[in-house]
Structure 1
Amino acid sequence: MAKTTSKELGTDSIGRLLVKQAVPASIGILVMSLNILVDTIFVGNWIGSVAIAAINVVLPVSFFIAALGMAIGIGGSSIISRALGAEDSSKALKTFGNQITLTLLLTSIFVVGGLYFIDGIIPSFGGKGAIFEPAKIYYKIVLYGVPFLALSMLGNNVIRAEGKPKFAMVAMIIPSLGNLIFDYLFINVLDYGMEGAAWATSGSYICCFVYILWFFLSKNSELKIKFTHFGLNKNIVTEIASLGGVTLARQAVVSVTYLFLNNILFELGGASSVTVYAIIGRMLMFALFPVLGITQGFLPIAGFNYGAEKYQRVRESINTAIKYAMILGFLIFILIMIFPETITSIFTNDGEVLSKAPGAMRWVFMATPIVVIQLIGSAYFQAIGKATPALLLTLTRQGFFFIPLILILPNFYGELGVWISFPIADTLATIVTGYFLNREIKRTLKVTPTVEA
């Protein structure tokens, strides 16, 4: 890989930078999403459709704990990007050390708590009836690997903050390929069932952690931390917490959403409806990979140039990111509208699921072309270190609109009420985010103090 430095974020053309940052991020997300898709296909065909529902029950809990690493990673990376832009390497190094310490402490506490309260947590997230036992098996084993996933998510975001997207891409590909190989070995060859699926997942997390550890110990990283950097600094921890809290709040709301949706769908349509949502959830991760890649690529560009006070470049990065993402969002929308039956049939041959999923999938993806504004808009406030608006805008989509809608609309429209809540919430959140993003641009990005040659 060619040697790159963070300074390129402030000098290269925005279009080129966005492609350079977004393509590796998109590929990494694509491979990770394909891994989740294929993993679901393997589990559905080699273990059964109930196993898909069981994994879907466990995901919000394990992902919430892992999201501690992601939250600390994104929050600290915002500080690191701006510090590198302002040429303050001391703050960047101290921030990275504090990120590692926080991640180790918090994930350890949550894993212990998650294992202790296992019998209460699983039913709360929809793991009832035939779903409970396979969910419990999967949950216990996966939780052992979650700290490695949290550290990997932390490291991945810091790698992006350094302006090294190709290494971040590899870090996302390794666990994906590892999981597929382990899936085949543990489930199909050794016939370990749900235990095999769980060990495959945990093993892939460990593989990713080993690669990221190598990156920071090698010459590829600019951040060479020392033992003294691990000591917690109150100001840095506060800033990490305020910015990382945005990501953590988002994942907390996602977990609560899973809790409500799994229980509501189980009551309305049984295990088959929970499976439908599991399939659609996987497709949301997979289909939106290029949009999420652009959002990931946009973050270090906006953060670095904001820290360097190159405001015209910040404006250009916002406009370019939204334009590219909307084009891709529209293409995704067209494909989902045309092929939902084909997509569903890849996952399962369960007749009840096949009859429900296509219509539900169309509703869920209805607002895809415009929701990109909400994703990039909320990400922008996080990139520039404005935690409060970033938090509020992040919560608008699922917290302020979606959860109330799924609690109200099913009372009038049954299961359809769940599915139509998706595009309504997406549209409302996009309108709100667009308004505040436009206002922020007019207020803070009026001039360009630094004149570029």
Structure 2
Amino acid sequence: MAKATSEELGIKPIGKLLIQQAVPASIGILVMSLNVLIDSIFVGNWIGPVAIAAINVVLPVSFFIAALGMAIGIGGSSIISRSLGAGDKETALTSFGNQITLTFLCTISLVLVGLYYADSIIPRFGGKGDIFEYAKIYYIIVLYGVPILGFAMMGNTVVRAEGKATFAMIAMIIPTIGNLLMDYIFIYLLDMGMHGAAWATTLSYTSCFLTILWFFLSKNSELKIRLRHLKLKRKIVHEISSLGGVTLARQAVVSITYLIMNNILFNLGQEALIAVYAIIGRMLMFALFPVFGVTQGFLPIAGYNYGAQKYDRVRQSINTAIKYAALVATLVFIGLMIFPAEIASLFIGNDPNMTAKELALNQYVLAHAPNSMRLVFLATPIIALQLIGAAYFQAIGKATPALLLTLSRQGFFLIPLILILPNYYGELGVWMSFPIADLLSTLLTGYYLNKEIRKELIPKTTN
């Protein structure tokens, strides 16, 4: 039965298959984003906006290390999907075993480095002034759980590569429910402050890992590895690194963007503007979850059919994924344009006992966040093409174009723009950098995707 599930990727109608894969993936991404969103809302209401800014400082550091697991997972899952499509199960097993070994070695090493250099890393990411102590508490505790999160994220992508999107979704729902309950207990009932928020997040990672582990130890998975599969194979490691490097590079650029943004905004508006960006950053992760879900659902479909040389289905999957992602992106855009003030107010507490400084900080955030959010999300309807286009090259194992297109938005366009425009337009220049980068990266991706489709997926006619 398990084998038939992966074979469905090459048989079922693309539209139905994409919904089947994308809906669970979207829900999984939604609940993963809720982990961060719940922390932010609870922390903002029960601790204060400086605490939200502190979490914003820590996120790029912990996310980068956790992204190692996702990078290794996506890189290996591309091999697994194509191998299953080609009927080569041994290569799929070797890939999975190598993914486990790589995740262990990489995450443990980087966590040790992260702990050793904690006092120098936090200020570099904007953890200055009143933010530092809050950020350090959260940073240390969350970092303990990052290897567990790395294994959970790696395993989750492999579950999807097997075609088990529903279980992958369930594995992401469990930690969110746990995080919600533990946040309430640790922060509100036990008054543990930032310690409580950090421990709730870390323990929620653990529940996700245990769920994924059970899947692979049970009869649900068709990937039953042996000790020999854990031994690193140069060819497999190279391909995992090349393809996974796309995801890791993307997260590295995200982390660099946070570093630059936090420092620029601190210079422009101290803790208050970082708090504004923290709210916008949560929405960048949370509001776009259905678009990312379509992208994740698209990956195994494209990879499997490409491996099976069913190029007509690959073309159909590209077109369908872009249409679905564009539709949900437009709906997200409409909601954000209409309700930005209501969204921002969710993150701000109304404790009557707050100090004058805290009250002024809250009022500043509420005044600046809505229009800033509108500007950042201005080009949201067109991002589907950029995301699906970059994901396509990753799915079929072409690491170089996948890397360049993935990095185009933030690496080639956004970072230079946020370094240049604020010098002329101040805070406005920061927020306008986002839609300009979206537009330029979408145009670039559209050009290369169209070129690739014409070259590789359209049958050549002979006279």
Q: Into which bin does the TM-score normalised by the smaller protein fall?
A: over 0.9
Partner residue, 2:431: 419
Shift of 1:448: 9.7
Q: Is the 8 A contact 1:4 1:164 kept in 2?
A: no
Say whether residues 1:367 and 2:379 are aligned partners: yes
1:235-254 maps to which residues of 2 (within 5 A)? 235-254=235-254
Shift of 1:142: 0.5
* Alpha-carbon separation, structure 1, partners of 2:206 and 2:9: 31
Say whether residues 1:88 and 2:88 are aligned partners: yes
Say whether residues 1:296 and 2:296 are aligned partners: yes
Shift of 1:47: 1.0
Shift of 1:345: 0.8
* Alpha-carbon separation, structure 2, partners of 1:44 and 1:280: 14
Shift of 1:434: 0.3
Partner residue, 2:405: 393
Partner residue, 1:310: 310
Shift of 1:20: 0.2
* Alpha-carbon separation, structure 2, partners of 1:33 and 1:154: 17
Cα deviation, 1:188-234, whole Å, max 9, x if unaligned, reads 11111111111111100111110000000000000000111100000
Partner residue, 2:167: 167
**Letter of the structure 2 residue corresponding to residue 397 of structure 1:** R
SS at match of 1:214: helix
Q: Is the 8 A contact 1:312 1:448 kept in 2?
A: no
**Letter of the structure 2 residue corresponding to residue 297 of structure 1:** G
Partner residue, 1:12: 12
* Alpha-carbon separation, structure 2, partners of 1:219 and 1:447: 40
Say whether residues 1:157 and 2:169 are aligned partners: no
Q: Is the 8 A contact 1:4 1:163 kept in 2?
A: no
1:206-217 maps to which residues of 2 (within 5 A)? 206-217=206-217
Say whether residues 1:66 and 2:66 are aligned partners: yes
* Alpha-carbon separation, structure 2, partners of 1:389 and 1:149: 28
Shift of 1:252: 0.3
SS at match of 1:129: coil
Normalized against structure 2, the TM-score is what? 0.96
Q: Is the 8 A contact 2:2 2:221 kept in 1?
A: no
* Alpha-carbon separation, structure 2, partners of 1:299 and 1:117: 36
Partner residue, 2:259: 259
Partner residue, 2:450: 438
* Alpha-carbon separation, structure 2, partners of 1:126 and 1:183: 25
Shift of 1:31: 2.0
* Alpha-carbon separation, structure 2, partners of 1:113 and 1:31: 29
Cα deviation, 1:230-264, whole Å, max 9, x if unaligned, reads 00000000000000000000000000000000000
SS at match of 2:130: helix
Shift of 1:447: 2.6
Partner residue, 1:129: 129
Shift of 1:289: 1.1
**Letter of the structure 2 residue corresponding to residue 179 of structure 1:** N
Q: Is the 8 A contact 2:2 2:222 kept in 1?
A: no
Shift of 1:38: 2.1
* Alpha-carbon separation, structure 2, partners of 1:35 and 1:387: 30
Shift of 1:270: 1.0
* Alpha-carbon separation, structure 1, partners of 2:24 and 2:444: 30
* Alpha-carbon separation, structure 2, partners of 1:127 and 1:215: 39
Change beyond 3 A, Cα 1:448–1:32: farther
Change beyond 3 A, Cα 1:59–1:448: farther
1-10 vs 378-387, which deviates more? 1-10
Partner residue, 1:403: 415
* Alpha-carbon separation, structure 2, partners of 1:287 and 1:139: 25
1:383 to 386, 391, 395: 395
SS at match of 1:31: helix
Change beyond 3 A, Cα 1:231–1:395: same
Q: Is the 8 A contact 1:367 1:426 kept in 2?
A: yes
Shift of 1:126: 0.0
Change beyond 3 A, Cα 1:214–1:372: same
Shift of 1:34: 2.8
1:357 to 348, 365, 369: 369
Partner residue, 1:205: 205
Q: Is the 8 A contact 1:272 1:352 kept in 2?
A: yes
Change beyond 3 A, Cα 1:402–1:170: same
SS at match of 1:347: coil
Cα deviation, 1:249-301, whole Å, max 9, x if unaligned, reads 00000000000000000100111100111101111111111111100000000
Cα deviation, 1:327-384, whole Å, max 9, x if unaligned, reads 1111111111111111111111511000000010000100000011100100000000
**Letter of the structure 1 residue corresponding to residue 276 of structure 2:** V
Shift of 1:4: 5.6
Q: Is the 8 A contact 2:2 2:220 kept in 1?
A: no
Shift of 1:2: 9.6
| Percent of matched pairs sharing the same residue | 71
Normalized against structure 1, the TM-score is what? 0.98
Q: Is the 8 A contact 1:381 1:389 kept in 2?
A: yes
> In angstroms, what is the RMSD of aligned CA positions?
1.3
Say whether residues 1:271 and 2:271 are aligned partners: yes
Partner residue, 2:31: 31
Q: Is the 8 A contact 1:309 1:448 kept in 2?
A: no
Partner residue, 1:144: 144
SS at match of 2:145: helix
